[in-house]
Amino acid sequence: MIDFTGATIGFILMLGMMALGLHVAVAIFLTSVLGAIVYFGPDLLDTFATQLWAVMNDFILTAIPLFVLLGELLMRAGVTQRMYSGLSTWLGRLPGGLLHTNIGASGLFAAVSGSSVATAATISTVALPELRKRGYNERLVLGSIAAGATLGILIPPSVNLIIYGALTGTSIGQLFAAGIVPGLLLIGLFMLSIAIISLLLPGSAGALDEAATWSEKVKSLQHLIPPLSIFVVVMGAIYTGWATPTEAAAVGVLMAVALAAGNKALSISMLHDAFLSTVRTTAMILLIIIAAFYLKFIIGILGVPQAMTSFVAAMALTPLEFIFVLVIFYLILGCFIETLSMMVGTIPIVFPLVLHMGLDPVWFGIFLVLMMELALITPPVGMNLFVVQGVRRTGSVIDVFYGIIPFVGVVLFAVSLIIAFPGIVTWLPYKMF
Amino acid sequence: MQPRNSTFAVLEKLVGAVALACGWALLALCALTGYDIVARRLLGHSVQGVDEIGGYILAITASVGFAAALLNRMHTRIDLGLMIMPVPLRAVMNAVAAITLAGFAIFMTEKAWATLMETLEFGARASTPLQTPLWIPQTLWIFGIALFALIATTMAVHTVWLLLRGQFGTLNTQYGPPSIDEETEASLKVTTPHSSADATIKEAMK
């Protein structure tokens, strides 16, 4: 059995290996191997064989390639620009004008693509030239795109929530349901802050569009309804119990193929591009998951959860203090570690503590995803900031850092809201299931 | 573009072809699932074993994908530490990363092989209505993992070779993690509209 010090040393070794640039999966795996050998001997390594097959042919995890494929198809189906222009018809007159479209389009695109890098890059390409031309405050534009692009991991279907569900044994349907209200809340808060900033600093938003007529608005729906209907059918199938998340993903893929065909974007070469990308991304995720499942298994045998819980119990923290410690922990970790790796590498250690403190596993999943969103947009290394800057090509990334400040504040506020009112997260999933 | 590509051209082609097959298999799985849902809810019968087949497809897709992701430097690494290292040290760490990954891949192959041997010895079948003899999916699964190990090992040897010859720059370009700019570039290539859709989009943007 391992004590708290041993477990902490193991965790620090794992982070150290990651920091030295080893592959994240290897760092997690070597940590597990080290634990197994030091405390039990090399025979324990044979258990890896059963784990490997069991994890890799798990039908629940089959949802991962399917949702990735769904996103890859939609990205190639020519929906982005259509969505953006469609949304601008509806949101263009709010104070802040097209900035709201950035949030809305990012949210929608991120929800369907599941990739914040792709979202930040794509929306930047569409929005930056347009908003520059219209004289918007560039910093605010950059910030709104980087922030909007984080929404995809929270708004279902989210691959990150599937991974969390698989690693912790939490219902993926419940997690998806739990992401909806906080996702909408976050969109609302982003838009509210844009409106407030635009009203306080009148120069920050560009000239507003002419109000769209109702016929234009109705016409623009043809660009919004197809991607929205995929979202509704996928989520609807899960909630009504017609389909498991994996099956719903399959239906989504079929709809995406039809949508691409409707947009005349479907071709064999387009499908093949999407396939290759899907296979690679799936493998990238699976390699880390395999290592993480093994770490979880070894950690369980070593008694790390017991060691950690007795240590935390001795500190006599209240749940609120414990959550506060977690916020700090993830804020710091998020500055250094890629978000998926951060989630997967910490769940085996943190999750038993979460249960011990009596926190709700569904709530914690959403909390964790919000912390990942923060990691994506907090300087100095938030991934999204650099992606947006990469598309912009001019000026300094410092502009993006300034632009993101209000949105970091908004996400932190959202985190404090779900801490103060956990019902924001748990109300819908427990009502539905 | 890179000399490495010629070294791996044959393997790259093989991996690409199998990956495409996996993609088609995923799409077929979607069609089968779609039919199963309709049949289950409306026609009152169901297709047996869609979930089981889906599991096998995941196992094979991921195992082949390991190699495909490796060839595209997609396996996640944190580059924060590497960026502040001097060039020679970065080269050493890129080589260490390649070697440890090869070690992991070989370990996986060995354990997967043990699993297959056990399956064959007991003639194990899935405990499902399909009663699939497990050696069928597992053989394809091992093929992917072994391919991953083969490529990872070749790369590891190559990094050592580059290291010994002092070609740190080449090593860092070919085996370092891709920069954010490269990743951005890659995702833009995807979403920049295809020529056929281009005109329609311009129309829509008006």
C-alpha A158/C-alpha A41 separation (Å) is 38
**Nearest CA-CA partner of B137 in A129, A62, A68:** A62
Q: For B29-70, what is each residue's pLDDT tens digit?
A: 999 999 998 888 888 888 888 899 999 999 999 999 999 999
Chain B residue numbers touching A52 (CB-CB < 8 A):
108, 111-112, 115
**Nearest CA-CA partner of A67 in A225, A221, A223, A176:** A176
C-alpha A30/C-alpha A28 separation (Å) is 6
| pLDDT for residue A366 is more than 60 | yes
* pLDDT for res B203: 44
Mean pLDDT of chain A: 89
Partnered with residue A41 across adjacent β-strands are none
Of the residues A57, A119, A122, A281, the best mutation for testing chain B's interface (the one with the most B CB atoms within 10 Å of its CB) is A57
Max Cα-Cα span within chain A: 73
Three-state DSSP at A95 gives coil
pLDDT cut 90: percent of chain B above it: 57
The gap from C-alpha A403 to its chain's centroid, in whole angstroms, comes to 21
Distance from CA of A380 to the nearest CA of B (A): 11
Mean pLDDT of A244-251: 93
Interface contact A82-B27, CB threshold 8 A: no
| pLDDT for residue B2 is more than 70 | no
pLDDT cut 70: percent of chain B above it: 88
Chain A residue numbers touching B51 (CB-CB < 8 A):
59, 62, 246
B125 DSSP 8-state letter: B
Mean pLDDT of A212-219: 82
CB A369 within 8 A of CB A377: no
Count the Cβ atoms, other than its own, within 10 Å of residue A314: 9
B42 DSSP 8-state letter: I
* pLDDT for res B191: 60
Interface contact A82-B204, CB threshold 8 A: yes
- Which residue does chain A place closest to B91, by CA atoms? A21
Main-chain dihedrals φ then ψ at residue A372, nearest 5 degrees: -70, -40
A19 touches chain B (CB under 8 A): yes
CB A313 within 8 A of CB A356: yes
- Which residue does chain B place closest to A89, by CA atoms? B205
- Which residue does chain A place closest to B78, by CA atoms? A21
* pLDDT for res B141: 94
* pLDDT for res A51: 87
Beta-sheet strands, E only, within A74-143: none
Residue B10 tokens read as 């044959």
| pLDDT for residue A193 is more than 50 | yes
Q: What is the interface pTM, i.e. ipTM, of the complex? A: 0.89
Across the interface, of A19, A242, A250, the residue whose CB is closest to B81 is A19
Q: For B65-88, what is each residue's pLDDT tens digit?
A: 999 999 999 899 988 889 899 999
* pLDDT for res A244: 92
Interface contact A283-B96, CB threshold 8 A: no
Chain B residue numbers touching A69 (CB-CB < 8 A):
23, 26-27, 30
CB B105 within 8 A of CB B63: no
Distance from CA of B36 to the nearest CA of A (A): 9
C-alpha A305/C-alpha A91 separation (Å) is 49
Residues 399-418 of chain A whose Cβ lies under 8 A from any Cβ of chain B:
none
pLDDT bin (cut points 50, 70, 90) of residue B100 is very high
* pLDDT for res B129: 76
Residues 154-193 of chain A whose Cβ lies under 8 A from any Cβ of chain B:
none
CB burial of A126-162 (b: ≥16 within 10 Å; e: otherwise) equals bbbebbeeeebbbbbbbbbbbbbbbbbbbbbbbbbbb
Across the interface, of A20, A25, A278, the residue whose CB is closest to B23 is A278
**Nearest CA-CA partner of A91 in A238, A1, A224:** A224
Q: For B5-21, what is each residue's pLDDT tens digit?
A: 566 788 889 999 999 99
Give the CA dihedral A407, A330, A387, B155, nearest 10 degrees. -170
Interface contact B78-A57, CB threshold 8 A: no
A47 touches chain B (CB under 8 A): no
- Which residue does chain B place closest to A381, by CA atoms? B80
| pLDDT for residue B122 is more than 50 | yes
Residue A274 tokens read as 């999407």
Interface contact B181-A22, CB threshold 8 A: no
Chain A residue numbers touching B190 (CB-CB < 8 A):
72, 75-76, 118, 273, 277
Q: For A37-58, what is each residue's pLDDT tens digit?
A: 998 888 888 889 888 998 999 9
Of the residues B78, B120, B203, the best mutation for testing chain A's interface (the one with the most A CB atoms within 10 Å of its CB) is B78
Q: For A315-360, what is each residue's pLDDT tens digit?
A: 888 999 999 999 999 999 988 888 888 999 999 989 999 999 999 9
Interface contact B78-A53, CB threshold 8 A: no
B79 DSSP 8-state letter: -
Distance from CA of B129 to the nearest CA of A (A): 16
C-alpha A98/C-alpha A136 separation (Å) is 9
The gap from C-alpha A242 to its chain's centroid, in whole angstroms, comes to 25
